[in-house]
């Protein structure tokens, strides 16, 4: 296999991680980066002193790039926080006239939620009943987000109101101040994501430029509150890689209280620890994650049980979202869905069962791959497969959920052009989505234009999964594993032998050495 990395220093001695320094030099080895580098003078010279910079280290350069792209995102959303005299008596308000939030592609959930969740009234999440005065017969609802995300909104509201009450600070509508406070906190969370992912990438640190400069960051960093979860998930993986399973469990537990997906990471860790005989570390992480999740949720669940349960009720009762595979099928075929036409308030019982069953089947397939592959898969590979499986089979794929995949994809499949192509496809999906929401009567797009783009996005993600599975079964083609490197994210799994328990059936064990050699 041709190795694209450039070796600096003597060849490493087997088993000695400190005997040489292998550096990834993308401007020499990657055609895309080589072309981009011509803007700043071309590829690095053969006689350049690499690794001697005192200030602009790779980490600082990546964080600076992330700040720049987060600024691009803020400017993209800024059109939705413009103020104008919009009331009948000239009252100051947000200028969303002419469906500006869709036409300008600037929509963010954070802005309408400020009023919809009664945060503008200073309401505490999960306590305040959110009744719609125009729908007196509608069911009462509460804050619809998990505890960490809900409390984050509450804290941002308090800061916004304190800022608004301070006469010596620049003034604006409270919702504008609130959005900026939210954006600042989410920016810090995404910087944590970039920082942790860069440490996990090891010598392939420049791959993380795709996390810092992802087109999805420009579109979705401030669409919702998902950077909170990506930050905790990446930090949890970093703690696991540094062999702190309890700390990893704590961070994943907090992340699971912000969005559900960080808890999915425990699944791949379970299978890999089972295969390698490292169950003690997984048990510690699992207990810490479960305990932390309970510790965060229990006070709210006990004091405001109805409000705390709203997140679970909503996800049970909601129908297939426009960008789910189920709605895509309905869009092109006219199929009425598993449950048929549903009235308002009716639960999609069969859809819930099918979605959950499909996810369980795919998870079982991923576990089978992990147990039977000739060489133990890397943690990041299985984490990407699990999260992608959830998104593809779930009845909801909110646009910002794609941020979940970005750091995992870079760690699992460091092929820059392929990943950039997927990210561009997913980011471009935002435009037909907004113009579909605009409505045909308002010069928007027909549904099939949007759902057709969803199909392209789903096929791109499925393609990434196929490439990862191919590399799992052909580990010699894995760009991360070279020399003495096994699994930079593995922690206790790194360099571990395949030692599955005796009770595991033979068909769920790794293939024999003879088959490995042939494969």
Q: What is the pLDDT of residue 8?
A: 37
Whole-number Å distance between alpha carbons of 447 and 449: 5
Residue 392 CA to its chain's centroid (Å): 14
Mean pLDDT within 66-75: 97
Q: What is the pLDDT of residue 497?
A: 82
9-13, 26-30, 497-501, range with the lowest pLDDT:
9-13
Looking at every residue in the chain, the average pLDDT score rounds to 87
The torsion of the CA quartet 432, 436, 442, 446, rounded to 10 degrees, works out to 100
Between 30 and 15, where is the model more confident?
30
- Yes or no: say if 445 and 431 are a contact pair by the CB < 8 Å rule: no
Residue 138's pLDDT band, with cuts at 50, 70 and 90, is low
Whole-number Å distance between alpha carbons of 130 and 143: 8
Residue 47's pLDDT band, with cuts at 50, 70 and 90, is low
Strands 92-94 and 83-85: antiparallel
Query: CB under 8 Å to 414, separation ≥6 — which residues?
Result: 201, 204, 207, 479, 480
Q: What is the pLDDT of residue 119?
A: 92
Residue 73's pLDDT band, with cuts at 50, 70 and 90, is very high
Whole-number Å distance between alpha carbons of 251 and 235: 7
Mean pLDDT within 290-298: 97
Distances (CA, A) of 352 to 30, 347, 474: 44, 9, 36
- Yes or no: say if 476 and 485 are a contact pair by the CB < 8 Å rule: no
Q: Angle at which helices 147-165 and 226-241 pack, to 10 degrees?
A: 120
pLDDT score of 17 more than 90: no
DSSP string, 22-78: EE--HHHH-HHHHHHHGGGTSSPPTT--TT--SS--HHHHHHHHHHHHHHHHHHHHG
Mean pLDDT within 246-260: 97
Whole-number Å distance between alpha carbons of 153 and 166: 20
Residue 136's pLDDT band, with cuts at 50, 70 and 90, is low
Q: 179 by DSSP, 3-state: which?
A: helix
- Cα angle 350, 355, 360 (rounded to 5 degrees) comes to 125
pTM above 0.85, yes or no: yes
pLDDT score of 134 more than 70: no
CA proximity to 484, closest of 162, 275, 203, 69 = 203
CA proximity to 458, closest of 410, 408, 412, 394 = 394
| CB neighbourhood size of 90 (10 A) | 8
């Amino acid at each position: 296999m041709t190795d694209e990395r450039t070796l600096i220093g003597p060849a490493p001695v087997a088993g000695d991680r400190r005997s040489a320094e292998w550096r990834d030099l993308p401007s020499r080895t990657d055609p895309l980066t080589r072309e981009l580098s011509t803007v700043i003078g071309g590829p690095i010279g053969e006689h350049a002193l690499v690794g001697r910079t005192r200030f602009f280290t790779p980490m600082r350069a990546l964080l600076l790039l992330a700040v720049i792209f987060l600024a691009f995102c803020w400017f993209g959303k800024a059109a939705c926080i413009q103020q104008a005299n919009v009331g009948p008596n000239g009252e100051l308000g947000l200028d969303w006239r002419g469906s500006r939030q869709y036409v300008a592609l600037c929509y963010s959930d954070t802005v309408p939620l400020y009023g919809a969740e009664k945060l503008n009234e200073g309401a505490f999440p999960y306590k305040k009943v959110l009744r719609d005065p125009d729908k007196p017969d509608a069911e009462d609802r509460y804050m619809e987000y998990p505890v960490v995300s809900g409390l984050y909104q509450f804290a941002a509201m308090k800061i916004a109101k304190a800022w608004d009450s301070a006469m010596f600070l620049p003034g604006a509508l409270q919702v504008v101040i609130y959005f900026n406070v939210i954006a600042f906190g989410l920016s810090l969370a995404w910087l944590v994501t970039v920082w942790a992912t860069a440490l996990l990438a090891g010598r392939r640190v420049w791959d993380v430029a795709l996390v810092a400069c992802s087109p999805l960051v420009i579109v979705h960093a401030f669409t919702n509150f998902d950077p909170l979860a990506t930050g905790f998930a990446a930090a949890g993986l970093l703690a696991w890689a540094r062999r702190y399973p309890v700390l990893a469990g704590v961070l994943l537990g907090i992340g699971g209280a912000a969005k559900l997906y960080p808890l999915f990471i425990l699944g791949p860790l379970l299978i890999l620890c089972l295969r390698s005989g490292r169950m003690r570390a997984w048990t510690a992480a699992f207990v810490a994650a479960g305990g932390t999740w309970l510790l965060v949720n229990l006070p709210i669940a006990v004091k405001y049980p109805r409000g705390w349960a709203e997140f679970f009720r909503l996800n049970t009762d909601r129908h297939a979202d426009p960008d789910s595979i189920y709605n895509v099928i309905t869009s092109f075929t006219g199929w009425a869905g598993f449950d048929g036409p549903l009235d308002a308030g009716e639960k999609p019982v069969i859809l819930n069962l099918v979605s959950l069953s499909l996810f369980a089947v795919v998870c079982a397939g991923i576990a089978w791959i992990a147990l039977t592959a000739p060489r133990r898969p890397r943690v990041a590979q299985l984490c990407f497969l699990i999260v992608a499986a959830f998104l593809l089979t779930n009845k909801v794929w909110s646009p910002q959920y794609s941020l979940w995949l970005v750091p995992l994809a870079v760690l699992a499949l460091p092929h820059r052009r392929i990943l950039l192509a997927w990210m561009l496809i997913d980011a471009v999906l935002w435009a037909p989505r907004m113009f579909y929401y605009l409505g045909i009567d308002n010069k928007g797009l027909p549904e099939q234009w949007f759902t057709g783009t969803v199909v392209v996005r789903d096929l791109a993600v499925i393609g990434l999964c196929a490439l990862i599975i191919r590399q799992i079964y052909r580990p010699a083609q894995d760009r991360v594993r070279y020399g003495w490197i096994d699994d930079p994210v593995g922690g206790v799994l790194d360099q571990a032998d395949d030692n599955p328990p005796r009770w595991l059936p033979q068909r769920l064990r790794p293939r024999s050495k003879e088959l490995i050699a042939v494969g």
